[in-house]
Amino acid sequence: MVDDSKMLHCDFCGKSQHDVRLLVSGQKANICNECVGLSWQMSKDHEIRYGVERIVERVMFPVLAIRDFFAGKPS
């Protein structure tokens, strides 16, 4: 029988060190490889979404300004 008091768990998903491939332990927190992967993917998704928003802003601002100019609307 395994002593639960000595078993480490991921502080994010709660899985034990035996249920994951890797558990990184810090001074105050533990994180498993699955949660690291999920957080990395979320970060990448955010960067992509933010990058697309910036590109749309750069393209659409002049387009909208030209549209408003020809429609007689002040900018």
Query: What pLDDT, in 10s, does the model give residues 10-27?
Result: 999 999 999 999 999 999
If one compares 1 and 42, the residue with the highest pLDDT of the two is 42
Q: Quick one: which H or E segment has residue 49?
A: helix 33-71
| pLDDT given for residue 31 in this prediction | 96
Q: Do strands 30-32 and 23-25 pair parallel, antiparallel, or not at all (unpaired)?
A: antiparallel
Residue 44 clears pLDDT 60, i.e. is over it: yes
The SS3 call for residue 67 is helix
